[in-house]
Amino acid sequence: MVTGAGARLRAVYVACAMAAVPTTTPTTAPLRSGRRRIGDRVGDGALRTITALAALAVVVLLGAIVYKILHLAHSAWSTYGLHFVTAKTWDPVHKAFGALPFIYGTAISSLIALLISAPLAIGIALYLTELAPKGVRGVVGSLIEMLAAIPSVVLGLWGILVLGPFLANHLEPWLHRKLGFIGIFGAPEATGTGLFTAGLILTIMVVPIVASICRELFMQVPADLEEGALALGTTRWEMIRGVTLPATRSGIAAALILGLGRALGEAIAVTQVIGGGTRITNNVFGPGDTLASKIAASYQGAASSLEQSSLLYLGALLLIIGLVVNLVAQVIVRRFDPLREAR
Amino acid sequence: MGNRSDTISIDVAPVEIAQRRHAPLPENREVVFDVQDLGVRYGATTAVSGVDFDIYRNMITAVIGPSGCGKSTFIRCLNRMNDLVPGAQVDGKILYHGEDLYGSGVDPVEVRRRIGMVFQRPNPFPKSIYDNVAWGPRVLGMRKDLDERVERALRGAALWEEVKDRLKRSALSLSGGQQQRLCIARAIAIEPEVLLLDEPASALDPIATTSIEELMHGLKRDFTLVIVTHNMQQAARVADMTAFFSLEVGEGRRTGVLVEYDATEKIFTNPSDQRTEDYVTGRFG
Amino acid sequence: MAVAAERISLRATGRSRRRLRLNRVMEGVAVLAASVALAALGIVVVSVVVRAWPALHVSLFTQTPNLFGGPGGGISSAIVGSALIVAMATGMALPVGVLAAIFMTEFARPRVAAAIQLFLDVLNGVPTIVTGIFVYGLLVIGHLQSAYAGAFALAVVMLPLVARATQEVLLLVPNTLREASLALGVSRWRTVVGVIIPTTLGGILTGTVIAMARAAGETAPLLFTCSIFAPAVSTDVTHALPNIPVLIFTYSEQPDPALHQQAWAAALVLMAFILITSLTARGLLARSRRKLTHG
């Protein structure tokens, strides 16, 4: 029995070896010679060099982006220095420029997006991993991925022509009437453009990204941990709260930070729906601008070279914020391990 | 912090059966599970069928049989863990103290709260040792005297002495055997009536295995235990009653069936079914 | 058979009832979340289709935009421009991305590969408007806006997508395949060119197609590099070419309803393109996975 199997294995091995070794190769050939060998060495070296150069190009490209952007912002930097970041006015007529209104607009619109998309995305991911019947799972998952594929300019178009008017006529006046006393739900704009609308559009962009990462995270939680929880007589929700979410929380944080990065950097759709403005207002229905949308809105040119340079300074700020946010998220993602999240 | 397992002899031979105290009389015992013509299907394939026997209170019942005979599938029916497997369909009845486990209105969450389970691979939560045990009672609303409850459970699982000074440490810092005892502590902390053990020692080394087996003898006083094992010696060592499952092969289908159920001593020394005898003697003969 | 002294109830009562109710509420919330996302998708898609419908004539694809606004006209020049720009961007991003991925999986030490992967992920996170400014500073200042500048900006967006997708499929290639080839005395580069690339071609194409779909809809990188309005159909890549994303963007900011309708129509064309490419990519991916997992 054993010998039979051994013989069979040997036969297979020999057959493989015969197929592999070209019969014309003289077995006595010296180990390092022949033109083919040299050609191979050159080929290996060439491929290695070319691919290494391509990889290097990635690094150089990122470096060049950082360098070029900082370089472009230099002239506004030498005029304003760090004071630019805290200056509240953006007045092309009097040539006074500051970034604070746009930092504020970026923060508020991203915050709105994050507050709405966090529960939504986690809920979707939980539905897809824990609840959805097998057949539905794939379809719903792909449809939500399709949401991420809608170009931002199309979402912006929809935001300005469909969502904005709807919000202006229905939701915003209602919120203003009912919750206006809080102070953040001020009088709506007639067009429905403003920070809140921008936040909603950003939500649509952020949700599929965060949901798809969270879905992967939840699938990584070992099934026997979840069974261990259910075997204690806990409900599915108690299991999720007690085991699934704690085991994935740093991953969820990273997913939300990546979503934040997306929201901060989105220019086009936000430009279309945010209304444009340089005042800092606590009314979320009011118009404003984010760093990215201010730059995008000024694409047709600036009135003065100082304004142009200030716009480039905004770009540098956006780049720095974007890089920091992304690096943080990437570092967390790389450290993620669902089994090492001990309390 | 005595490492008690070191002092235990690990070389326990099946001979021991003969020397064991007499098998208790099932007739005097209270029936916990009355399994009636149980069958489980996954889609078109039948995993087990026609299983019919009683499981008695405060005894250790072992389920043995070759791999693939549906032992695990069977034990997972006893606390409705099979509900979690998509496409699993349970036929027949399991009466738990006369109440049909699969009857309408029965809540699987409530079932699992009374019938705890320990799994093949130790699966402590990525939490501290303390929180692993305390989490269940906390969620289930047994917050009173939680520290005491945790200590009691850890003592019950013979783990207290080893971990009492590092309750806040991660459970993942424990050894495999300690992790499995922690899982037992976790299960008994919510005071179930029954403890199901699905090959609880198959991932452990012999020393850890011995300590788990020792532990089971102690737990018998307070709980009804059902253990699935592929290790016959283990069944012989720990169980009062043994159910032998086998595979019935026909028309390209393999279905698990219950061949024989009796006192462990009888199963291993004088089985009434030829298949049981073949299995019991064949493996280690 | 002894009868249990007390009747045990397995029904949920009291506290467990509340726990079950909370569980049901939370499950409802999850279902609701998924429904909200699906509803958003449905509403956006239906809005685009309904509003684009009246503008869907053959003329949309054959005519150029009306210079003076008003109804009629088409987006043919923008379609041609977008196709050219995306094709050029793919031509730039594809080789660099694939080669960089080959370096990461076939040559680089793990630490180096991890570092490059980090660079790619961070590059992917650079706001696209910043990419636009970068290319503006690099190629447009002192020159003119041009299709190749726009293509370069889109290539920067595509590069990390192509490279990461390629890396993922290369990592799927079982090591035994590499070893089998090397064990035959075949050199490394012949192994890569003759064995690894052919087996992963489907996956590489998938990544490329997905990146193309993404690039086709990107507006921000083009604003500063290729956004000057030129209605005529042109293939002169040294000048700014009209393209679909910028057309939608500028039309959406106009008060003219006729232009809005054209924008909706352009949006529908764009989304149809993306849908078709995504479905193609899905098919390619399924095929290449089958090939890799089943020999």
| DSSP result, A286-317 | S-B--HHHHHHHTTT--SSHHHHHHHHHHHHH
Tell me if B3 is assigned to some domain.
no
In a domain, residue C252? The reply is yes
Q: Tell me the C-alpha distance between C253 and B140, whole Å.
A: 57
**Nearest CA-CA partner of A183 in A51, A281, A69:** A281
Residues 109-138 of A with CB under 8 A from B: 133-134
Output the pLDDT for position A66.
94
CA distance B269 to B37: 27
Identify the CATH number of the domain in which residue B194 sits. 3.40.50.300
Classify burial at C58, counting beta carbons within 10 Å of its beta carbon; exposed 0-12, middle 13-18, buried 19 or more. Answer: exposed
Note the pLDDT tens digit of each residue in A50-90. 999 999 999 999 999 999 999 988 888 888 888 888 888 88
Backbone angle region of A13, left / alpha / beta, with phi > 0 → left and psi within -120 to 50 → alpha: alpha
**Per-residue pLDDT, C201:** 86
Domain count, chain C: 1
Task: Classify residue B208: in a domain, yes or no.
Answer: yes
Alpha-helical regions (H) of B157-282: 160-163, 176-188, 206-219, 232-238, 264-269, 274-282
pLDDT of A9: 39
Q: What are the φ and ψ backbone dihedral angles of A320, each rounded to 5 degrees?
A: -65, -45
pLDDT at C5 over 70: no
Per the structure, the count of domains in chain B is: 1
Put simply, whether C25 touches B (Cβ < 8 Å) is: no
Out of C4, C7, C10, name the one closest to residue B106 (CB).
Answer: C10
Question: Would residue C51 count as lying in a domain?
Answer: no
CA neighbor of A293 nearest in space, from A161, A171, A164, A110: A110
Do the Cβ atoms of B110 and C4 come within 8 Å?
no
Selected residues 72-101 of chain C with any CB under 8 Å from a CB in chain A: 95-100
Give the residue, B241 or B5, on which the prediction is more confident: B241
In a domain, A26, yes or no: no
Q: Could you count the other beta carbons within 10 Å of the beta carbon of residue A66?
A: 17
Specify the residue for token string 């500051």. Answer: A98
C220: its two tokens: 């921000």
Res A322: pLDDT: 93
pLDDT digits 0-9 by tens, C119-175: 999 999 999 999 999 999 888 888 888 889 999 999 999 999 999 999 988 888 888
* Residue at B140 is within a domain: yes
Interchain contact B83–C (C-beta under 8 A): no
Q: For residue B95, give both structure tokens.
A: 């009466």
Strands lying side by side in the sheet with B115-118: B99-100, B88-96, B31-42, B45-56, B253-263, B241-250, B60-64, B224-228, B194-198, B115-118
This model of the complex carries an ipTM of 0.89
pLDDT value of residue C135: 93
Domain membership of residue A59 (yes or no) is no
Q: What's the start-to-end Cα distance of chain B, in Å?
A: 40
Which of A185-199, B7-21, B249-263 is predicted with the least confidence, judged by mean pLDDT? Answer: B7-21
At A29-54, the pLDDT tens digits run: 555 555 567 777 788 888 889 999 99
Instruction: Determine whether the interchain pair A292/C220 forms a contact, defined as Cβ–Cβ distance below 8 Å.
Output: yes
List the single residue in C with minimal CA-CA distance to A206.
Answer: C37
Would you call B109 and C7 a contact, using CB atoms and an 8 Å cutoff? no
Residue A196 · residue A264 · CB < 8 Å: no
Q: Kindly state whether C1 is in contact with chain B, defined as any CB-CB distance less than 8 angstroms.
A: yes
CA distance B179 to B152: 17
Return the percentage of chain A with pLDDT > 90, whole number.
45
What percent of chain B is helix, strand and coil (3-state, nearest 5)? 40, 25, 35
The structural domain count of chain A equals 1
- The predicted model gives B88-111 an average pLDDT of 88
SS3 label, residue B281: helix
List C-alpha distances in Å: B70 to B38, B63, B77, B229, B245.
Answer: 12, 10, 11, 11, 8
Q: The whole model's pTM is what?
A: 0.85
- CA–CA dist A45, C49 (Å, integer): 54
Which helix (H) or strand (E) segment is B62 a member of?
strand B60-64
Identify the residue with better confidence: C172 or A150: A150
* A316-329 pLDDT tens trace: 999 999 999 999 99
Q: Which domain holds residue B230?
A: 29-282
Assigned domain for A260 exists: yes
CB contact set of A128 (below 8 Å; sequence gap of 6+): A137, A140, A141, A144, A211, A215, C34
Distance between CA C76 and CA C67 in Å, rounded? Answer: 14
Q: Supply the pLDDT for residue C7.
A: 61
Q: What is the pLDDT of residue C6?
A: 54
- The parent domain of residue C286 ranges over 61-293
Give yes or no for a contact between B243 and B53, defined as CB atoms under 8 angstroms apart.
yes
- Is the pLDDT at C246 greater than 60? The verdict is yes
Cβ of C20 and B109 within 8 Å?
A: yes
Whether C18 is in a domain gets the answer no
Chain A residues close to B140, C-beta within 8 Å: 232-234
**C76 vs C63: CA distance, rounded Å:** 6
Mean per-residue pLDDT of chain B: 84
Residues 6+ apart with CB under 8 A from C119: A58, A59, A62
Question: Could you tell me if B132 and B163 are in contact, meaning their C-beta atoms sit under 8 angstroms apart?
Answer: no
Q: Which residue of A has its CA nearest to C118?
A: A330
Is residue A290 assigned to a domain? yes
Chain A nearest C-alpha distance from C235 (Å) = 23
pLDDT of residue C289: 72
> Residue C218's closest CA among C289, C294, C158?
C158
Domain assignment present for C108: yes
Q: Please tell me the distance in Å from B218's CA to the nearest CA on chain C.
A: 23
Using the beta-carbon criterion (under 8 Å), do C133 and A208 form an inter-chain contact? no
User: Taking 60 as the threshold, does the pLDDT of residue C248 lie above it?
Assistant: yes
Question: How far is residue C212's CA from residue A266's CA, in Å, rounded to a whole number?
Answer: 19
More confident: B226 or C295: B226
CA C282, CA A139: separation in Å to the nearest integer?
A: 13
Token readout for A22 is: 């070209």
Chain C segment 269-288 residues within 8 A of A by beta carbon are 270-271, 274-275, 278, 282
| Cβ atoms within 10 Å of A258's Cβ, excluding its own | 24
Chain C interface includes A40 (CB < 8 A): yes
Distances in Å between the Cα of C261 and the Cα atoms of A167, C49, C68 are 21, 11, 15
Q: What is the pLDDT of residue C122?
A: 93
Q: Is the pLDDT of residue C186 over 60?
A: yes
pLDDT at residue A29 in the model: 52
CATH number at C177 reads: 1.10.3720.10
Pairing of strands B241-250, B224-228: unpaired
Contact C19 A235 (CB under 8 A): yes
Q: Which residue range(s) make up the domain with A156? A: 74-335
User: Do residues A314 and A84 make contact, with C-beta atoms less than 8 angstroms apart?
Assistant: no
Q: How far apart are CA A203 and CA A190, in angstroms?
A: 22
Q: Can you list the positions of beta strands (E) in chain C?
A: none
